[in-house]
């Protein structure tokens, strides 16, 4: 400020008034000060301004996912909602270690963040980060406390979309291959698929859910199990895109045509998996960027003094149709009609 004042040929008090837009000054003086400030690259001190306002205009993001692939789209949504540069984001990676996490919570509090977003790689409820004097919103991962606000994907609804799409396109024997039963997301996806089948008087093909791991290797093994079981199946709904890709490899290499013999649907809409799959994979998109966006908007409302919210907000998933499943082929179609396939990706919710 002293340099700006010297360059503009005014007192420090006058320079301060001009820069902070306070006091009575002639327009020419104000302009001279602002020009000097610009020439010197003067930056108002956000730390000092935050102290005066009692706010830091900073939000903490605490992740357990080591900046993994679930965190990436969520962060994009958070950042969009916070507005480029209006609010800044302090990122902390707890790496699944409760002690490290509590250390970060203390760091964020000492840095006077206005609020905290907590995220992670698992839908399963987690212990709350503590009873803090600032607003906190959980996203993708849910807080185990009913007093907290969590924003999560509606995995049961997403699984229902997949099964309805398969039934609508004439599939009658739908198998389900998914991740470990101990993971909530695997259980929710299986439950959503099962109840949608039950509403139509059906159940899973091949004797029920094939639980396993979140990997291509498990998908390949499960494809073998399905084929060797001898049970009829004309569709496989998978709990993840990685699993679906493995199933696709085994089916193709065993002489099954996808989607003509077997339709295939994944879950996640993970670009490298759905594009690498042959054929490109129909999948359920949990809309992680939208999750991040909604969580950050709720956090901003709370920071600005709106009454605190609690409970779980479940946002709908979306069906993304690609070549591994057929587009609408009604039951009653005349035999002459050739099936219509989606030639490019389109979304349907």
Residue with the two structure tokens 């730390």: 47
Nearest approach, Cβ of residue 240 and its own copies (Å) = 11
Kind plus residue range of the DSSP H or E element containing 183: none
Q: What is the DSSP letter of 206?
A: G
Query: Considering the rule CB under 8 A, would residue 84 count as an interface residue with its own copies?
Result: yes
Nearest-approach distance from CB 298 to its own copies, in angstroms: 20
Q: Which of 12, 35, 38, 51 binds its own copies (CB under 8 A)?
A: 51
- Which stretch of DSSP H or E encloses residue 88? strand 88-93
Smallest separation, CB 336 to its own copies (Å): 35
Closest C-alpha to 245, from 225, 267, 212, 228:
267
Q: Is 272 in the site for its own copies (CB under 8 A)?
A: yes
Q: Considering only residues 276, 301, 313, 329, which one is a binding residue for its own copies as defined by CB under 8 A? A: 276
In this structure, what token pair is assigned to residue 272? 């490298």
Q: Report the residue number, 112 or 173, with the smaller CB distance to its own copies.
A: 112
Provide the token pair at 275: 């594009």
Q: Provide the token pair at 11.
A: 């007192």
- If you compute the radius of gyration of the chain from its CA atoms, what whole number of angstroms results? 27
Q: Does 242 bind its own copies (CB under 8 A)?
A: yes
Q: Indicate left, alpha or beta for 105 from its phi (over 0: left) and psi (-120 to 50: alpha).
A: alpha
Contact present, 313 and 151 (Cβ < 8 Å): yes
DSSP 304-334: TTPPP--EEEEEPPEEEE-TTS-----TT--
Considering the complex, state which of residue 103 and residue 346 has its C-beta at the smaller distance from its own copies: 103
How many residues bind to its own copies according to rule CB under 8 A? 50
For its own copies, the closer CB: 46 or 198: 46
Nearer to its own copies, 109 or 328 (CB): 109
Rounded to a whole number of angstroms, the minimum distance from the CB of residue 276 to its own copies is: 5
Residue 56 binding its own copies, by CB under 8 A: yes
Report which of 121, 104, 122 is spatially closest to residue 113, judged by C-alpha positions. Answer: 104
Q: Which residues, in sequence order, are CB contacts of 35 under 8 Å at separation 6+?
A: 8
CB-nearer residue toward its own copies: 87 or 167? 87
User: Looking only at residues 93 through 112 of this chain, which bind its own copies when binding is defined by CB under 8 A?
Assistant: 93, 100, 103-104, 106-107, 109-112
- CA atoms of 247 and 237, how far apart (whole Å): 10
Sign of CA dihedral 300, 44, 133, 74: positive
Question: Using CA atoms, how far apart are residues 251 and 255, in angstroms rounded to an integer?
Answer: 6
Regarding 41 and contact with its own copies (CB under 8 A), the answer is: yes
Q: State yes or no: residue 43 binds its own copies (CB under 8 A).
A: yes
Query: Which is closer to its own copies, CB of 54 or CB of 230?
Result: 54
Looking at 25-33, 176-184, 212-220, 309-317, which segment touches its own copies (CB under 8 A)?
212-220
245 contacts its own copies (rule: CB under 8 A): yes
Instruction: Name the one range near its own copies by CB under 8 A: 8-16, 26-34, 221-229, 273-281.
Output: 273-281
Shortest Å distance, C-beta 92 to its own copies: 8
For its own copies, the binding residues (CB under 8 A) are 41, 43-48, 50-51, 56, 58, 61, 66-69, 71-72, 75-76, 79, 84-85, 88-93, 100, 103-104, 106-107, 109-112, 133, 215-217, 242, 245, 249, 272-273, 275-276, 278
């Amino acid at each position: 400020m002293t340099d700006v004042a010297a360059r503009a040929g005014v007192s420090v008090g006058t320079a301060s008034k001009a820069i902070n837009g306070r006091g009575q000054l002639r327009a020419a003086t104000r302009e001279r000060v602002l020009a000097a400030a610009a020439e010197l690259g003067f930056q108002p001190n956000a730390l000092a301004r935050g102290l005066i306002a009692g706010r830091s205009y900073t939000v903490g993001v605490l992740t357990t996912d080591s900046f993994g692939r679930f965190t990436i789209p969520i962060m994009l949504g958070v950042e969009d909602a916070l507005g480029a540069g209006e609010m800044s984001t302090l990122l902390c990676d707890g790496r699944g270690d409760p002690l490290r996490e509590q250390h970060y919570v203390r760091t964020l509090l000492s840095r006077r963040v206005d609020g905290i977003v907590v995220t992670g790689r698992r839908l399963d409820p987690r212990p709350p980060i503590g009873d803090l004097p600032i607003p906190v919103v959980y996203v993708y991962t849910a807080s185990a406390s009913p007093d907290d606000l969590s924003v999560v994907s509606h995995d049961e609804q997403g699984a229902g979309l997949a099964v309805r799409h398969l039934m609508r396109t004439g599939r009658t024997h739908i198998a389900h291959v998914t991740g470990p039963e101990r993971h909530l997301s695997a259980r929710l996806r299986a439950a959503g698929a099962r109840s949608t089948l039950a509403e139509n008087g059906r159940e899973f093909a091949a004797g029920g859910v094939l639980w396993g791991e979140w990997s291509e290797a498990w998908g390949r093994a499960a494809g073998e199990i399905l084929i060797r079981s001898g049970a009829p199946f004309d569709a496989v709904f998978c709990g993840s895109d990685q699993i679906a890709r493995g199933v696709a490899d085994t089916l193709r290499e065993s002489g099954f045509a996808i989607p003509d013999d077997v339709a295939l649907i994944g879950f996640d809409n993970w670009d490298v998996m759905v594009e690498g799959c042959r054929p490109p994979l129909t999948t359920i998109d949990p809309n992680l960027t939208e999750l991040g966006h909604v969580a950050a908007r709720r956090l901003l409302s709370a920071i600005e003094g709106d009454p605190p919210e609690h409970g779980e907000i479940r946002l709908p998933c979306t069906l993304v149709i690609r070549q591994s499943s057929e587009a609408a082929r009604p039951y009653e179609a005349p035999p002459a009609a050739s099936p219509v396939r989606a030639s490019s990706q389109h979304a349907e919710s």
